[in-house]
Structure 1
Amino acid sequence: MKKYTKFIFIGLFVFVLIWTFVFLWKKSRPVKVEYQIVTPVVGTIEKKTVATGKVEPRDEVLIKPQISGIVSEVCKEAGQSVKAGEVLAKVKVIPEMGTLSAAESRVNVAQINLRQTQKEYDRTKELYKGKVIASEEFERAETEWMRAKEELQNAQDNLEIVRDGIAKRSSQFSNTQIRATITGMILDVPIKVGNSVIQSNNFNDGTTIATIADMSDMIFKGKIDETEVGRIKEGMPLTLTIGALQDMKFNAILEYISPKSIEENGAILFEIKAAAEVPDSVFVRAGYSANAEIILDRCQEVLTIPESTVEFQQDSTFVQVVTAEEPELELQRRYVKLGLSDGINIQVKEGLTTSDKIRGGKIVKQ
């Protein structure tokens, strides 16, 4: 039994020794590297940049009240379309007691003055009928009487405005009715019934009743890096991709490039604006995030190769041209003159033709 065990161990040792030699022999043999074979093709090279930003209406109008008070009625909601002149809300005036008292006193004085003038007018009229006085004196009394009547009416109108915010004679021009100043869509109505509002004046911006914008005129507002701002100009075409509408792209025309930079997180950026061409069948909401793709340079119908096939040596560029594929791959290093690159493909100006073949990347076997 011991004799057989001895032979088994010897056999295992010999097997392991032979397997080790075979493994090391295979590892020492050179590995054959295979490469992709690439043929130059004629195509288009575009160098692009992307600006991030958002799509918003060109103009947003804030509707402010011309009188202070309490909101008594809200007639419109966000999302509704309105025309210029439509009533958005109504404001109830809370009069200031000193002003109200002065207005009431003015009415009382005007009434007293009218009663006195009325008596004088009646006496003058009777004397004029009896041909006791001249017509000039009668006309003078009549004028004073009419002036007193107008003063009373003005005082009453002023009292109504102070007390109610509206006069009966000019109700169509009432400041208590807050009206839309442009035609468009209501984006926001930040007030509710019962809110106090302050009129817009020289010392106060006033309370915003509503925000209205023309949603048919949209612009892209974004930022671009300082390294690329010098390569763009007004009038260049853009392609907009909106995050909420990923399957759709919109054309735009660059309209504005800011002359002053802004700094964000250590980067120098410039604001740009572009007029977006949005079809009537698509509703784009204000504030959608968007990316604008700008073509900085383009070369059409030029010879192109993958940029990964190019070898760079100082200021020169080379490719490995395939002279033979069988039995082994034979290569010849050739100088080429390159042009525009988009990061994946690059333009070849000199050194290659469409009939040449060049070495590409290594073929990785799984």
Structure 2
Amino acid sequence: MSKRAKIILAIVAVLFVAILVWLGKKNQKSIVTYETEKPFKATIVKKAVATGKVIPLEEVEIKPQIAGIINKIMVEEGAIVKAGDLIATIRVVPNEQSLQSAKGRINSVQIQLNNAKVQYDRNKKLFDKGVISSQAFEASELAYNQAKNDLRNAQNDYQIIKRGSAGSSGANTNIRATASGMVVEIPVKKGYQVIEANSFNAGTTVATIADMSKMIFEGKVDESEVGKLVKDSDIQVSLGAIEGKKFPAKLNFIAPKGTEENGAVQFKIKADVTLDDQYFVRAGYSANADIVLEKKDSVLSIKESLLRFDKKTEEPYVEIKTGEEGKFEKKTLKLGTSDGVNVELLEGIGAEDEIKIWNKASKEEKKS
């Protein structure tokens, strides 16, 4: 073998050895180190959130006493009124058939009155001459007085049908407030036709008056949480229109019967809201209520993101650091209350154990 061939063979051998060494280092598995975290003390509050709105505790609908057309509205929405204040006036549009019937009754009663007067006048002359007894005279007098009274009633009925009132006061055509408060809604306008409340109809609402100093939260909670609610418990109400402010409230009503909505059973709740004079809370504001279901003060806790669940038993577990470098040991846990971020630790590990933070390896591992 020539000297040149030997040199080439030696170079090939060195390169082969270098490649083997490089491949060996590349395939050698380095120790993966993970960041760890210890359990900590925390206050865990489990809450339920109810969505709803704030509405006045006392709200009164003002309805007319007679059917007709709105002639004039005396107040605007937002006005403060007292009981008895004039809200609107109504112009009566009489029913033609009823009007003619009432007019016919007047004519009929007038005929009876004329006849009763003739008999009364005749009997009075006879009584004064002593021809008839006082009993016969009194009977004709009674009939005459009764006929006059019937005429007055018939005339009053006619005026009520025609104008909505028998006198000049117009009591039936004047719509007045029946309670004190703020006018929160006027659903009608001038020219609207309205009807009175009766046995077959609720009547037309002319205005709604509410006491804006007393507001309640009305919302709904899911059936999975309603069993944990306690009447008279304190809650916090947040309004969508007022950022960064929570109003204290006291739960005073939990519905005994739920309603199904979108496949889930919802239960109505109500709470008295304590208002702040710095804020004007309008009726109908959308709101959320934070209801404390359970609270644990200063308990040993871990982050829920550290938890894993066994595929077979579905029990929660974590991996804690052992004495050997890069080695972790699986520990099954018993958990308590959770707020969605932290969870109470009852059994399984101690306060000094170091828990593996999943998906957070050291910088060396990331580089490799």
Structure-to-structure mapping, 1:43-62, within 5 angstroms: 43-58=42-57, 60-62=59-61
TM-score (norm 1): 0.77
Cα distance per residue 1:282-318 (max 9 Å; x no partner): 4321211111222222223422232334454445555
Structure-to-structure mapping, 1:289-328, within 5 angstroms: 289-313=286-310, 314=313, 316-319=315-318
State how far apart, in whole Å, the 2-side matches of 1:183 and 1:364 are: 71
> Is residue 221–residue 271 contact of structure 1 (8 Å, CA) maintained in 2?
no
Q: 1:82 to 1:33 in 2, by over 3 A?
A: same
Equivalent in the alignment of 2:239 = 242
Equivalent in the alignment of 1:11 = none
Equivalent in the alignment of 2:271 = 275
> Is residue 319–residue 358 contact of structure 1 (8 Å, CA) maintained in 2?
no
Equivalent in the alignment of 1:179 = 176
Q: 1:280 to 1:158 in 2, by over 3 A?
A: farther
Query: What SS does structure 2 have at the residue aligned with 1:349?
Result: strand
Query: What SS does structure 2 have at the residue aligned with 1:185?
Result: strand
> Is residue 254–residue 272 contact of structure 1 (8 Å, CA) maintained in 2?
no
Query: What SS does structure 2 have at the residue aligned with 1:207?
Result: coil
State how far apart, in whole Å, the 1-side matches of 2:332 and 2:162 are: 91
Query: What SS does structure 2 have at the residue aligned with 1:201?
Result: coil
Q: 1:118 to 1:338 in 2, by over 3 A?
A: same
Equivalent in the alignment of 2:4 = none
Query: What SS does structure 2 have at the residue aligned with 1:346?
Result: strand
Structure-to-structure mapping, 1:195-344, within 5 angstroms: 195-250=192-247, 251-257=249-255, 259-264=257-262, 267-279=263-275, 281=277, 282-313=279-310, 314=313, 316-319=315-318, 336-344=333-341
CA drift at 1:130:
4.0
CA drift at 1:39:
4.8
> Is residue 233–residue 254 contact of structure 1 (8 Å, CA) maintained in 2?
no
The amino acid of 2:270's aligned partner reads A
Q: 1:363 to 1:253 in 2, by over 3 A?
A: farther
Q: 1:245 to 1:364 in 2, by over 3 A?
A: farther
Query: What SS does structure 2 have at the residue aligned with 1:168?
Result: coil
CA drift at 1:157:
0.6
CA drift at 1:329:
8.1
State how far apart, in whole Å, the 1-side matches of 2:306 and 2:94 are: 83
Equivalent in the alignment of 1:18 = none
Consecutive unaligned residues of structure 1, counting only runs of 5 or more, are 1-20
Q: 1:243 to 1:234 in 2, by over 3 A?
A: same
The amino acid of 1:263's aligned partner reads E
Q: 1:211 to 1:342 in 2, by over 3 A?
A: same
State how far apart, in whole Å, the 2-side matches of 1:94 and 1:310 are: 76
Equivalent in the alignment of 1:164 = 163
Q: 1:321 to 1:40 in 2, by over 3 A?
A: farther
Q: 1:58 to 1:262 in 2, by over 3 A?
A: farther
The amino acid of 2:179's aligned partner reads I
> Is residue 90–residue 178 contact of structure 1 (8 Å, CA) maintained in 2?
yes
Cα distance per residue 1:132-154 (max 9 Å; x no partner): 43322232222122112111111
Consecutive unaligned residues of structure 2, counting only runs of 5 or more, are 1-20
Give aligned-pair identity as a percent: 40
Cα distance per residue 1:228-270 (max 9 Å; x no partner): 3343354443321110112211223051235233232xx4131
The amino acid of 1:259's aligned partner reads K
Q: 1:262 to 1:61 in 2, by over 3 A?
A: farther
Question: Alignment length, in residue pairs?
Answer: 338
Query: What SS does structure 2 have at the residue aligned with 1:114?
Result: helix
Structure-to-structure mapping, 1:100-119, within 5 angstroms: 100-119=99-118
Q: Does 2:36 match 1:40?
A: no
| Between 141-150 and 255-264, the greater mean CA deviation after superposition | 255-264
State how far apart, in whole Å, the 1-side matches of 2:120 and 2:362 are: 116
> Is residue 46–residue 339 contact of structure 2 (8 Å, CA) maintained in 1?
yes
> Is residue 40–residue 353 contact of structure 1 (8 Å, CA) maintained in 2?
no
Cα distance per residue 1:316-362 (max 9 Å; x no partner): 5555556789xx788666555322121211212235555x2523634
CA drift at 1:54:
1.7
State how far apart, in whole Å, the 1-side matches of 2:196 and 2:167 are: 21
The amino acid of 1:252's aligned partner reads K
Q: 1:363 to 1:176 in 2, by over 3 A?
A: farther
The amino acid of 1:80's aligned partner reads A
State how far apart, in whole Å, the 2-side matches of 1:316 and 1:149 are: 96
Cα distance per residue 1:3-55 (max 9 Å; x no partner): xxxxxxxxxxxxxxxxxx99x989989487462543522x3212222122222
Cα distance per residue 1:194-237 (max 9 Å; x no partner): 22223333444433312233334433232333433343354443
Q: 1:316 to 1:270 in 2, by over 3 A?
A: closer
State how far apart, in whole Å, the 1-side matches of 2:103 and 2:286 are: 57
Question: CA-atom RMSD, angstroms?
Answer: 3.5
Q: 1:164 to 1:293 in 2, by over 3 A?
A: same
Cα distance per residue 1:152-192 (max 9 Å; x no partner): 111111111111110018x47x3222233333332221222
